[in-house]
Amino acid sequence: MVAALINGKEISLSIREELKLGVTELKNQGVIPGLAVVLVGNNSASRTYVNSKHKACNELGMYSEVIELAEAVSEDELLSVVRKLNNDDKIHGILVQLPLPAHISEKKVIETISPLKDVDGFHPINIGRMMTNQDSLLPCTPFGILKLIEATNIPISGKHVVVIGRSNIVGKPVGQLFLNENATVTYTHSRTTDLKRITKQADILIVAIGVAKLITSDYIKEGAIVIDVGMNRDENGKLCGDVDFENVKSVAGHITPVPGGVGPMTITMLLHNTLKAASQIENKSNLGVKL
């Protein structure tokens, strides 16, 4: 048996075609969905991500604005920029690219963004609404993972989902999303004892630990869906995930590649959230696409 590939590139392109319909519908109502991305400093990886987001917005016909601030910008100055964007009618989504310099509180920045424009899905109000299974702007990577598994047409309800990782960005929220879908969810992490015993029970294994190729076939239940969130470099400098793909593909039923799995979905769900925020802010609900 060789695992079926869950192709994040193809799935994300399919979702973006649906989003284009929604953008066109809003434009016909006189609204152009707008995303503002704030970049602090000169982190090359952050700049690459920001450029990708800007390009993706343009391809869908959204308005995109990139605000670049110096590494030494004060926290107060950054918060002032965020408040200005909160009150800017042409901006429906605000994203402050993380990580931020050490002298700036990420918590303060996230909590200053209007929950209505919080397209990263990190504001405590949106997290709280997600936890209580209310409609909200969902964190992009966990939301993308959910969409990847939905694309396999394998029912989630009743399945045992095991998450390796407990970050606020991926691990914690992704487990909650699957709990909302009636899965049974187990969280594991660096302090978990007998990790293999737990992961081998997983119908769906979500790996977000940041250690290259740590997860091998002896962690995997035969036929399981394996979602690899990791983005690392191997000993040859080649991109790889937290899962040893070549070793695991003969045991898993479905698996995401790295690159080309979870990565493309994150930006796509950011676009989804921007469109949804624009629709809600402008009180337009009849979009012709499922949000």
How far is residue 76's CA from residue 104's CA, in Å, rounded to a whole number?
A: 9
Q: Which of 117, 118, 120, 176 is catalytic?
A: 120
How far is residue 268's CA from residue 143's CA, in Å, rounded to a whole number?
A: 10
Paired sense of beta strands 184-188 and 225-228, if any: unpaired
Contacting residues for 194 by C-beta, under 8 A, at least 6 apart: none
- Is residue 86 within 8 Å of 119, Cβ to Cβ? no
- Is residue 233 within 8 Å of 254, Cβ to Cβ? no
Tokens of 179: 């709990």
* Binding-site residue set for NADP(+): 165-167
How far is residue 266's CA from residue 8's CA, in Å, rounded to a whole number?
A: 10
- Is residue 151 within 8 Å of 144, Cβ to Cβ? no
Q: Which of 20, 27, 29, 53 is catalytic?
A: 53
How far is residue 181's CA from residue 175's CA, in Å, rounded to a whole number?
A: 10
134 is catalytic: no
120 is catalytic: yes
HSE (CB half, 13 Å, CA atoms) of 108?
13
97 is catalytic: yes
CA-nearest of 260, 262, 22, 267 to 120 is: 267
Q: Which of 20, 76, 89, 97 is catalytic?
A: 97
Active site residues: 53, 97, 120
